[in-house]
Amino acid sequence: MLYSPELTLRDARERYFQINNFPGGGYDERWVKMRAGPLPIWFPNIEARRKAVLFHDLHHVLTEYETTWRGETEIGAWEVATGCARFWVGWLLDLFSFAIGLVINPRGVYRAFVRGRRAPSDVRRPPSRSARQTVSDTKELRLSMAVRLSRTFLLRKLHQLTGIVPLGLFLLEHFYTNSKALSGANDFNEAVTELQSIPYVLFIEIIGIFIPLIYHAVYGLFITWETRPNNLAYPYPRNWFYMIQRVTGIILFFFIFFHVLNFRFGAIPGLNEVSVADNPSRAFAIVSGEFGNVAILIVYTVGITATVWHLANGLWLFAVDWGIVIGERAQRVMGYACIGFGVFLLAVGLNAMMAFVWKGGLLGGLIE
């Protein structure tokens, strides 16, 4: 045990500073220094970060996670699970740590997230007041950045929001770009080239796609884990829709992981070792060559269908849970609209996929 239960939080935090060689905590420093191996990384210590890190340091004391890269991925997962309330910098840094942890420390991140989800929490308090508590008292309360109700509420709302923006918008853009294949290889290759020429494209992908995707997928799996299906006992349409949403979520977790490794990074030995993003002039040939494999074509047909269902039904859930449609009639009309949108989007997605197999897609293939 690093911190005696009799220590006050203030004294325990001072010991934490000594152990990790953080003189005074560095709260007043203008810049924060991190190290990635021998490489130093500097970023500004803005006011929003200073407010969040006051709690972050106390969480290190309470959880005893280390300040190494592995330890920071674990405390990041723990704080995502307990909630970061209004501390947007906390959300950003913790989700980034979470994403890194899924690569370098998946088991530790999983355990930390589960630990955070199971931890009871007290109402957030100013550090000056909570600092007078002992470590023992506070460990019983598991001081976090939000009350339990707010934590669950915020995590679920963030989960819903990331499914629509940016991931839903990204899916629409994905189908649009793939539809360029309907007019031939040159148009599709040019579309991929234009995408890869966007300034700071890697940064946009990480912040706008990968981090929201990781959060939505991981938290979605925990929602599925907690699911208690009752669709057999009460076979109402909405019960079945709820169950199918969970099933398609699991399918998408593995499908998207496969898709990103396959085409974005070309990192599946024996199947595809050429990245579409790094070889835009060969993009059409790479995709069409792989879709020549019937098994891969089936995988993508199932994946696209699951994706469209998940988004279309997710739009209805989003509109209802966020109070956009309230009355029974409005919800019914919204349901029909989402079904229509889903059917249209599925036709677009499958037609774009088949454009890599038949010239002009499904319609062109039938005509020929």
Give the per-residue pLDDT at 138.
54
CA–CA separation, 112 and 116 (whole Å): 6
Provide the whole-model pTM. Answer: 0.62
Q: Which residue has the tokens 């539809």?
A: 179
**Cβ atoms within 10 A of the Cβ of 99, count?**
19
Q: 316 Cβ partners below 8 Å, 6+ apart?
A: 331, 334, 335, 338
CA–CA separation, 145 and 151 (whole Å): 8
- Rg of the chain in Å (alpha carbons): 24
151-367 is classed in which CATH architecture? Up-down Bundle (1.20)
Give the per-residue pLDDT at 88.
79
Give the per-residue pLDDT at 151.
55
Per-domain residue ranges for the chain?
9-146, 151-367
Give the per-residue pLDDT at 333.
95
The answer to whether the CB of 310 falls within 8 A of the CB of 245 is yes
Give the per-residue pLDDT at 89.
84
> What is the full per-residue pLDDT of the chain (368 aa) written as tens digits?
677 777 777 888 888 888 888 877 788 888 888 776 667 777 788 888 888 888 898 888 888 899 998 999 999 999 888 877 778 788 888 888 988 898 899 899 989 988 887 775 443 343 444 555 555 555 544 444 333 334 567 788 889 999 998 889 999 999 999 999 999 999 999 999 999 999 998 889 889 899 999 999 988 888 887 777 777 777 888 889 989 999 999 999 999 999 999 999 998 888 888 999 999 999 999 999 999 999 999 999 999 999 999 999 999 999 988 888 888 899 999 999 999 999 999 999 999 999 999 988 887 644 44
Give the per-residue pLDDT at 131.
52
Strands 31-36 and 39-44 turn out to be antiparallel
